[in-house]
């Protein structure tokens, strides 16, 4: 199966120097911060379609624009992954917002359609912001920074070693989490359900689910801490040795 | 608060707690529709960092760990989170600085203050600061005092889970630390004797 | 085989816990015993955090080779190690060093998390050589466990390098390891065979790109038969060179890694497809619980299954260590008890197949043999097959079918089946 690859010059992560990359990314994100073109587009659309609020078309247009800008940098598969997460989050937020409006009408404004518009705006905002923020983060390479730091000598080297160690620990946490997810998957083949779930049939869901959830979370946290802290002493020892050797090699 | 052997060890442990704060904040996310925010369990590690390693570690884990998590999906909350969660870790660490592992009173008070500061901090941002900024920058126009009031409840639940979880973890770690200190003292006494 | 030379001291241990204790005592570097339970772990960690830095610089090869690598990729690790010894390292020096230890230069920029156990160990060898001028000695735990016998020579090369430099070497090994000449693996009576049906239709696994903190491009691995095997017989062995993709294959069979195209299905004679896996790092599967707590959690709603699993756990422990006492209500005090507990929990569910990924890691050769032999004996009673994933030649004598994995292209793995 061949995967379509966008040309390198379209990828934001390849833009140099870094300030130009930052400027382009901020320009792309400007509609999210300012609502500037959305307002203008809405006003323009309302002239042609007076019976329809222009914002309903303007927000999806802005969202599509953001996706289009993110697409070459992320690639199709990854953008779809991010959109799956964004849709889940957006739908959960909007649906629970609508339910809350029914349960607690007092705290919402009397204008139901204004509330609905607010929820719709939140919906499109999440769909646009989620992939955008991940594109922003992925555009800057930590590995470039690290390879510069490991070659650095002089007074910045100690700071560089601290940063390199901190990033390595973060990477290690990034290794521990997928490992624990795999373990979780092995422990619970149906992912969320506890093993031998049929045996839980006789117990009220009001008891079994909170009980299972709390125990699982606490065990997860403990396992996560222990696995995260496990290699720290050896890693620190090595970085200390690198630092000391710097001191002994330093003519001063 | 634990005495730490070296700057690199401190860096490593703070980095681990910061990363764990970010990860737990991202992993369990329950959206709060009223304010476009979300409920999470990252406060457990912020309070743990403050109790265990002091105000600086508490501030770094809270401010950076939570802001990193917000940068994925909720960037509008980054400024509020950086200040509120950073302060939560810092105040917890400040109040627990001279706590002993034998007593739960001082660390408990520190953790409760930290949790309360988080709830109050978000309320102030959501009810007053964001609506005010939102008049000039529409991105921040996502909450109002009514919505902030609704968010008090999930924030309080988040604060309580953070306090309980943070204290439980701190107790587990601190009791180990206490035993090791006792052992160190005994071995020193043995050498002296 | 290394003989006890003047500057090389080989110490042999019965258990992983004793080996780690000795490592910590020799080097002064704290290394937590994961199986010791939560409170022991935190006690040890706090002790390290409050303690002092070891005075004597050591080059170390930790029991788990991934843990001695404090920078994100091989290039940074080796440049830093060479700089430590006061040498200005260029790319050519680093490439020469990595090739000396049988690794390809393409791994230099890969995140360490993507390397296999054998590759990590060889990278540790290269790092130790780079540090040699700066350190006083080398402490190496199980220095050949992760290597195919053909690659043991790299350990000898490293020893020679340290000897020439006049530095000491402490090699800490578990009983039965290849450095230990005193005893070798035990022979067990043959286990009755259990036929299993294995369908491999070019399954493909895709691995996503890694962005943080070092970039690693997306990759894929596809498996295919050299010729269709028909039936395989339990206990069977999945073997192959370091980094060929044995563990990935096991995870694919167990359904933990999703297959993008093709299929990989294994069933027993009853058509049961439930497959369970014990990871290389099996101890993480315990979630830092004691055996008793673990079984209680897994079977919290089924007293019957809990009792069954506990009985199996006691059987396994009794068969492996009839002379050694243990308390299953206390924190899990040994890696052996942890592994036995995990196996018992899986067997109690009567799956079609139980896969054991490197079951010998952290165990003496004798304990590993007894554990696997007894697991097969108990599993076959339930019509549960057992698959062993390992590069260790000892399992050849024990297995009844042998699935040998071989890379025929960077993303293609061919499986050869031989009936033993």
pLDDT digits (tens, 9 = 90+) for A157-188: 778 788 878 887 887 887 788 778 778 777 76
pLDDT at A88 (0 to 100): 82
pLDDT at C181 over 90: no
Is there a single domain that holds both residue A162 and residue A237?
Answer: yes
Cα C141 to Cα C155: distance, rounded to the nearest angstrom: 12
pLDDT at A190 (0 to 100): 54
- Looking at A109, A138, A167, the residue that finishes a domain is A138
Q: pLDDT category, C312, cuts 50, 70, 90? A: very high
pLDDT at A165 (0 to 100): 84
Is there a single domain that holds both residue A16 and residue A40?
Answer: yes
Is there a single domain that holds both residue A69 and residue A160?
Answer: no
Asked if A138's CB is within 8 angstroms of C213's CB, the reply is no
Residues of A in contact with B71 (CB under 8 A): 133, 136-137
pLDDT at B187 (0 to 100): 43
Mean pLDDT lowest among A160-164, B65-69, B77-81, C375-379: A160-164
pLDDT at B178 (0 to 100): 58
pLDDT at B47 (0 to 100): 96
Cα C9 to Cα C5: distance, rounded to the nearest angstrom: 7
Residues of C in contact with A239 (CB under 8 A): 70
Residues of B in contact with A119 (CB under 8 A): 33
Interface subset of A 206-235, CB within 8 angstroms of C: 208, 212, 215, 219-220, 222-223, 226-227, 229-235
Is there a single domain that holds both residue A57 and residue A134?
Answer: yes
pLDDT at B192 (0 to 100): 35
Mean pLDDT, range B176-186, rounded to an integer: 53
Closest partner residue to C50 among B172, B175, B180, by Cβ? B180
Alpha carbon of A222 to those of A216, A225, B47, C38, C245: distances in Å?
10, 5, 15, 8, 30
Q: pLDDT category, A203, cuts 50, 70, 90? A: low
Residues of chain C with CATH 3.40.50.300: 8-174, 194-419
- Which phi and psi angles does A167 have, rounded to 5°? -70, -35
Mean pLDDT, range C290-308, rounded to an integer: 82
Helices (DSSP H) in C87-233: which residue ranges? 91-100, 117-131, 153-164
pLDDT at A93 over 60: yes
Residues of A in contact with B138 (CB under 8 A): 33-35
Is there a single domain that holds both residue A165 and residue A66?
Answer: no
Mean pLDDT of chain C: 83
Mean pLDDT lowest among A76-80, A240-244, B61-65: A240-244
- What ipTM was reported for this prediction? 0.80
Is there a single domain that holds both residue A224 and residue A146?
Answer: yes
- Looking at A138, A156, A173, the residue that finishes a domain is A138
Cα B138 to Cα A95: distance, rounded to the nearest angstrom: 23
pLDDT at B186 (0 to 100): 47
Q: Is residue A3 part of a domain?
A: no
pLDDT digits (tens, 9 = 90+) for C350-391: 999 999 999 988 888 888 988 999 999 999 998 899 999 998
pLDDT digits (tens, 9 = 90+) for C63-108: 888 877 877 788 888 887 887 766 677 788 899 999 999 998 988 8
pLDDT at A67 over 80: yes
pLDDT at B193 over 60: no
Tokens of C172: 């800490």
pLDDT at B111 (0 to 100): 96
DSSP percent split of chain C into helix, strand, coil, nearest 5: 40, 25, 40
Q: pLDDT category, A148, cuts 50, 70, 90? A: low
Q: pLDDT category, A1, cuts 50, 70, 90? A: very low
- Looking at A138, A165, A197, the residue that finishes a domain is A138
pLDDT at A182 (0 to 100): 79
Most confident range (mean pLDDT) of A209-213, C18-22, C354-358 is C354-358
pLDDT at C337 (0 to 100): 87
Cα A210 to Cα A202: distance, rounded to the nearest angstrom: 15
Closest partner residue to B5 among C38, C44, C53, by Cβ? C53
Cα C65 to Cα C83: distance, rounded to the nearest angstrom: 21
pLDDT at C184 over 70: no
Mean pLDDT of chain A: 76
Give the fold, CATH level 3, of C8-174: Rossmann fold (3.40.50)
Cα A184 to Cα A176: distance, rounded to the nearest angstrom: 12
Do A164 and A157 meet the contact criterion of CB atoms below 8 Å apart?
no
Is pTM beyond 0.90? Reply is: no
Tokens of C20: 């780690």
Mean pLDDT, range A143-170, rounded to an integer: 72
Asked if A230's CB is within 8 angstroms of C214's CB, the reply is no
Mean pLDDT, range B123-149, rounded to an integer: 87
**Strand locations in C73-225, DSSP E?**
137-141, 168-174, 194-207, 219-225
Mean pLDDT, range B4-31, rounded to an integer: 85
pLDDT digits (tens, 9 = 90+) for A17-60: 888 988 999 899 888 877 778 778 888 887 777 767 777 788 88
pLDDT at B68 over 80: yes
β-partners of residue C236 are C387, C401
Residues of B in contact with A84 (CB under 8 A): none
Mean pLDDT, range C19-28, rounded to an integer: 88
Percent of chain C with pLDDT over 90: 26
Closest partner residue to B176 among C46, C52, C53, by Cβ? C46
β-partners of residue C231 are C197
pLDDT at B123 (0 to 100): 95
- Which phi and psi angles does C34 have, rounded to 5°? -60, -30
Asked if C75's CB is within 8 angstroms of A189's CB, the reply is no
Cα B178 to Cα B180: distance, rounded to the nearest angstrom: 5
Residues of B in contact with A221 (CB under 8 A): 24, 44, 165, 169
Is there a single domain that holds both residue A188 and residue A96?
Answer: no
Closest partner residue to A234 among C29, C71, C72, by Cβ? C29
Closest partner residue to C51 among B5, B172, B174, by Cβ? B5
Q: pLDDT category, A189, cuts 50, 70, 90? A: low
Cα C285 to Cα C278: distance, rounded to the nearest angstrom: 8
Put simply, whether C70 touches B (Cβ < 8 Å) is no
* DSSP state string for B133-152: HHTT-GGGTT--HHHHHHHH
pLDDT at A146 (0 to 100): 60
In terms of CATH, what superfamily is C194-419? P-loop containing nucleotide triphosphate hydrolases (3.40.50.300)
Boundaries of domain holding A170: 142-249
pLDDT at A107 (0 to 100): 58
* Angstroms from C187 CA to nearest CA on chain A: 32
Q: Is residue A2 part of a domain?
A: no
Determine the residue of chain C that is closest to A191 in CA distance.
Answer: C256
Is there a single domain that holds both residue A130 and residue A167?
Answer: no
pLDDT at B37 over 50: yes
pLDDT at B176 over 70: no
With b for 16 or more beta-carbon neighbours within 10 A and e for fewer, the A50-69 pattern comes to eeeebbebbbebbbeebbeb
Mean pLDDT, range C199-213, rounded to an integer: 79
Mean pLDDT lowest among A106-110, A135-139, B163-167, C387-391: A106-110
pLDDT at B61 over 90: yes
DSSP percent split of chain B into helix, strand, coil, nearest 5: 80, 5, 20
pLDDT at C300 (0 to 100): 74
Is there a single domain that holds both residue A133 and residue A147?
Answer: no
Put simply, whether C46 touches B (Cβ < 8 Å) is yes
Residues of A in contact with C256 (CB under 8 A): 182, 185-186
Asked if C48's CB is within 8 angstroms of B177's CB, the reply is no
pLDDT at C2 (0 to 100): 43
pLDDT at A174 (0 to 100): 77
Is there a single domain that holds both residue A95 and residue A127?
Answer: yes
Mean pLDDT lowest among A240-244, C31-35, C166-170: C31-35
Structural domains of chain B ordered from first start = 7-181 (1.10.1760.20)
Asked if C53's CB is within 8 angstroms of B173's CB, the reply is no
Asked if C83's CB is within 8 angstroms of A242's CB, the reply is yes
Mean pLDDT, range C36-57, rounded to an integer: 77
Indicate the number of domains in chain A.
Answer: 2
Most confident range (mean pLDDT) of A87-91, A95-99, A248-252, C321-325 is A87-91
Do C344 and C310 meet the contact criterion of CB atoms below 8 Å apart?
yes
Distance of CA B125 to the CA centre of its chain: 17
pLDDT at C226 (0 to 100): 84
């Amino acid at each position: 199966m061949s995967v379509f690859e966008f040309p390198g010059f379209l990828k934001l992560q390849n833009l140099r120097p870094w300030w130009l990359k930052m400027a382009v990314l901020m320009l792309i994100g400007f509609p999210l911060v300012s609502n500037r073109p959305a307002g203008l587009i809405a006003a323009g659309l309302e002239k042609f379609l007076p019976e329809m609020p222009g914002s309903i078309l303007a927000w999806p247009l802005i969202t599509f624009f953001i996706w289009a800008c993110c697409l070459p940098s992320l690639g199709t598969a990854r953008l779809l992954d991010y959109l799956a997460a964004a849709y889940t989050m957006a739908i959960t937020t909007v649906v629970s917002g609508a339910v809350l409006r029914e349960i607690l009408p007092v705290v919402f404004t009397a204008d139901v359609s204004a509330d609905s518009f607010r929820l719709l705006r939140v919906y499109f905002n999440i769909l646009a912001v989620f992939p955008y923020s991940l594109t922003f983060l992925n555009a800057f390479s930590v590995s470039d920074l690290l390879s510069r730091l490991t070659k650095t000598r002089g007074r910045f080297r100690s700071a560089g070693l601290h940063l390199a160690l901190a990033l390595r620990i973060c990477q290690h946490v990034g290794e521990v989490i997928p490992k624990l997810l795999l373990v979780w998957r092995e422990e619970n083949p149906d992912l969320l359900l506890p093993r031998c779930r049929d045996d839980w049939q006789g117990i009220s869901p009001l008891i079994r689910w909170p009980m299972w959830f709390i125990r699982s979370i606490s065990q997860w946290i403990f396992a996560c801490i222990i696995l995260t802290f496990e290699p720290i002493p050896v890693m620190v020892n090595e970085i200390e040795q690198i630092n000391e050797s710097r001191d002994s090699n330093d003519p001063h | 608060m634990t005495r730490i052997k070296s700057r690199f060890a401190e860096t490593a442990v703070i980095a681990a707690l910061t990363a764990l704060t970010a990860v737990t904040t991202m992993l369990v996310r329950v959206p709060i529709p009223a304010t476009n925010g979300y409920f999470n369990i990252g406060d457990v590690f912020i309070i743990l960092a403050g109790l265990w390693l002091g105000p600086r570690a508490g501030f770094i884990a809270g401010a950076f760990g939570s802001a990193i998590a917000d940068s994925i999906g909720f960037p509008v909350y980054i400024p509020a989170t950086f200040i509120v969660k950073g302060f939560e870790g810092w105040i917890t660490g400040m109040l627990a600085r001279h706590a002993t592992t034998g007593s739960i009173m001082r660390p408990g008070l520190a953790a409760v203050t930290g949790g309360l500061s988080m709830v109050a901090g978000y309320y102030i941002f959501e009810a007053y600061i964001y609506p005010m900024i939102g008049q000039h920058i529409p991105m921040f126009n996502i909450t109002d005092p009514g919505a902030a009031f609704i968010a008090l409840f999930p924030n309080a639940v988040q604060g309580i889970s953070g306090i309980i979880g943070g204290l439980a973890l701190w107790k587990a770690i601190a009791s180990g630390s206490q035993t090791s200190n006792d052992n160190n003292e005994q071995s020193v006494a043995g050498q002296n004797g | 085989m290394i003989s006890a030379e003047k500057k090389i001291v080989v110490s042999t241990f019965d258990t992983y816990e004793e080996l780690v204790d000795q490592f910590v005592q020799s080097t002064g570097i704290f290394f937590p015993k994961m199986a010791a339970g939560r409170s022991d772990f935190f006690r040890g960690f706090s002790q390290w955090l409050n303690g002092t830095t070891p005075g004597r610089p050591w080059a170390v090869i930790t029991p788990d080779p991934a843990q001695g690598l404090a920078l994100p990729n091989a290039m940074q690790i080796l440049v830093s190690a060479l700089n430590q010894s006061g040498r200005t390292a260029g790319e050519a020096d680093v490439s020469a060093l990595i090739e000396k230890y049988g690794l390809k230069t393409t791994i230099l920029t890969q995140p360490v998390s993507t390397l296999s156990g054998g590759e990590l160990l060889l990278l540790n060898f290269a790092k130790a050589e780079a540090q040699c001028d700066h350190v006083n000695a080398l402490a190496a735990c199980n220095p050949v466990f992760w290597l195919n016998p053909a690659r043991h020579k790299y350990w000898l090369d490293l020893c020679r390098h340290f000897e020439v430099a006049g530095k000491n070497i402490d090699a800490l090994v578990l009983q039965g390891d290849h450095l230990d000449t005193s005893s070798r693996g035990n022979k067990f009576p043959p286990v009755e065979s259990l036929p299993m049906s294995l369908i491999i239709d070019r399954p493909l696994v895709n691995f996503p790109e890694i962005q943080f903190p070092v970039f690693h491009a997306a990759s894929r691995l596809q498996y295919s038969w050299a010729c269709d095997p028909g039936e395989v017989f339990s206990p069977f062995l999945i073997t192959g060179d370091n980094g060929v993709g044995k563990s990935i294959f096991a995870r694919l069979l167990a359904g933990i890694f999703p297959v993008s195209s093709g299929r990989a299905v294994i069933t027993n004679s009853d058509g049961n497809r439930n497959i369970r896996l014990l990871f290389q790092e099996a101890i993480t599967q315990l979630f830092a619980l004691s055996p008793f707590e673990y079984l209680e959690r897994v079977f919290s709603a089924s007293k019957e299954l809990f009792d069954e699993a506990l009985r199996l756990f006691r059987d396994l422990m009794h068969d492996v260590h009839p002379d050694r006492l243990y308390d299953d209500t206390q924190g899990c005090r040994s890696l052996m008890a942890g592994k036995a507990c995990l196996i018992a929990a899986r067997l109690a569910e009567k799956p079609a197949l139980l896969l054991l990924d490197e079951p010998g890691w952290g165990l003496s050769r004798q304990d590993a043999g007894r554990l696997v032999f007894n697991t097969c004996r108990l599993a076959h009673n339930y019509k549960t097959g057992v698959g062993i994933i390992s590069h260790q030649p000892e399992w050849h004598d024990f297995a009844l079918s042998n699935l040998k994995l071989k890379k025929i292209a960077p993303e293609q793995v061919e499986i050869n089946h031989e009936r033993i």
